[in-house]
Amino acid sequence: MVAESWDYIIVGAGSAGCVLANRLSADPGSRVLLIEAGGKDNVLPIQMPAGLVQIIPPETNSPYDWGFWTVPQAEMGNRAMYWPRGRALGGSSSINGMVYIRGHSSDYDRWAQLGLTGWGWADVLPYFRKAEDSERGADEFHGTGGPLHTSTKGALPHVLNEVFIQACTEAGFPRTSDFNGPQFEGAGIYDATIKDGSRFSAAKAYLTPEVKARPNLEIRTDVQVDRVTFENRRATGIAYRQRGRELVATGREVILAGGALGSPQLLMLSGIGPAEHLKAMGIAVVHDSPDVGGNLQDHLDMIVQYDCTQPITLNGNSKLTTKLVALGKWVFGKTGNAAHMPTPAGAFLPSREGLVAPDLQIHFMPVKGNPHGRGEMSPTHGYQMHVCQLRPESRGTVRLATPDPLAPPAIDPRYLSAPEDVETLYRGVEIARRIGRQPAFAPYAKAEAWPGPGITTRDDTIAAMRQWGETIYHPVGTCRMGVDERAVVDGQCRVNGVEGLRVVDASVMPYLVSGNTNAPTIMIAEKVADMIAGRRTLERKLGIAA
């Protein structure tokens, strides 16, 4: 069988893969193949912002969600915990909460301090601006004319948004008008990746009809990649299966963009990873890279909930007639509750004095529901604050459960294994409870539903946290970028120890950023696409054969 030949093979059409496909295929002299294991994204549950409630809960068995589960977590009541991840064009940007956040400038300066020259805040800000088409207009912090539309009107309008922000100020915290501007700390309204009432995923932004029509770009969905192929220590392409056929594609460069779970899994299936683990799986070792699948970091989510005295929250949308009205408004006019993201307001706050940057994030929602993986919203009216620690110390792993490429990986985030995380999250829960007791909420607060009025001591609160917490789905770090000998990829995201192979996605982050991870992942892909395009131009000038 003669293999197809490409310049670039991109595995994974998520936030990073869509960017890479767009930017690399902009060169008409480069042939680009984009592979996605999931399907198309032109379906109502993805395009309608409120449709995520039909995708994320595990009981929906949505074809657009991988529906992963962790191994039982020793510090979380020995519970297996639900990890939704996107399975369609756009990846997790097609099922996320649509919050547009970059993180704090110190996050990227911390990367640069590791020796990663070119990854400091001053270096990455131009790529955030390049990607963005902001409704705020162009300024020092925002860009216009980029592929990714960011909206100041995507947040769900609700009276409780301003109540929450006012309560934060009453609790002693500042107000901010732009989390991605000069003032990160404080409470305010989130920007959203929503345009004209529809989700604006990475696929919507970067894989426009004009881009899809490029003759040098091919996009294939519902394709399972089994492994990267090698000749000695050089990547030559991929082995994959489509509609029951086993196929091979060759490329001058293979780029993995499968995210913090998919990319390390595929590296290990291809023989790059901890040697002893690969041998135990019966996989021939191409390169012993012990940190592949290590350094797993995630934001653990605690939901502080209140019952509401007034029937004004989104819990009223549980009635069939209300759902049909909301659906009709969106289908025929892209308006109504279904046209907005459900986490409209939030805050970035310090857990204690003396911090360089806030270490807590709150997502406020005018609705009361169960944590991820535990069923639907409450039948009674309420509201909640999602609290997460921004820079956790706990580190976990992704490993192969079996050598079968179709099997889900073994995910062990080791939540709360670091004592510092327990203390910081406890402080975060207590700060959220303090915000909930402020005068602004007095007309609306009926009772605290979680942790509840009976939970008063530190020990009881921490015990409740271990039984209640879930992911807010921001996993990163499993193909860590660095300059040390154990780093999985270098500062250009090239896989160390082999040639012709890169990883470009959230897995390369050495440290988790202070906020949602979609915007930073897009930035990483924009920056690396520039690196690749620059190298290609240089090769042509020097007359180096493809």
SS3 sequence of 380-432: CCEEEEEEEECCCCCCEEEECCCCCCCCCCEEECCCCCCHHHHHHHHHHHHHH
The partner residues of 273 in beta bridges, in order of sequence, read: 288
SS3 of 37-56: the string is: CCECCCCHHHHCHHHHHHCC
Spatial CB neighbours of 210, under 8 Å, sequence gap ≥ 6 = none
Q: Which residues are catalytic?
A: 474
pLDDT, residue 324, reads 86
Per-residue pLDDT tens over the stretch 221-232: 999 999 999 999
With a cut of 80, say whether residue 318 has pLDDT above it: no
Q: Do 168 and 156 form a contact (C-beta atoms < 8 A)? A: no
3-class SS letters over 225-278? EEEEEEECCEEEEEEEEECCEEEEEEEEEEEECCHHHHHHHHHHHCCEECHHHH
Mean model confidence pLDDT for the chain: 95
Q: State both tokens at 470.
A: 């879930």
DSSP state of 73: B
| Mean predicted confidence (pLDDT) in 273-301 | 98
- The pLDDT of residue 58: 86
The mean per-residue pLDDT over the stretch 371-394 comes to 88
- Sketch out the chain's domains with CATH numbers: 1-149+197-296+476-546 (3.50.50.60), 156-189+300-389+416-468 (3.30.410.40)
pLDDT at 546 > cutoff 70: no
Q: Work out the end-to-end distance of the chain between its first and last CA atoms, rounded to an integer number of angstroms.
A: 22
Residue 194 phi, psi dihedral angles, 5° rounding: -135, 140
pLDDT number for residue 53: 86
534 vs 386: which has the higher pLDDT: 386
Q: Is the pLDDT of residue 170 over 60?
A: yes
- Dihedrals φ, ψ of 105, to 5°? -55, -35
Q: Are strands 272-273 and 287-288 parallel, antiparallel or unpaired?
A: parallel
pTM of the model: 0.96
Q: Is the dihedral of CA 273, 277, 283, 287 positive or negative?
A: positive
Q: Which residue matches tokens 């580190």?
A: 395
User: What local confidence, expressed as pLDDT, does residue 544 receive?
Assistant: 59
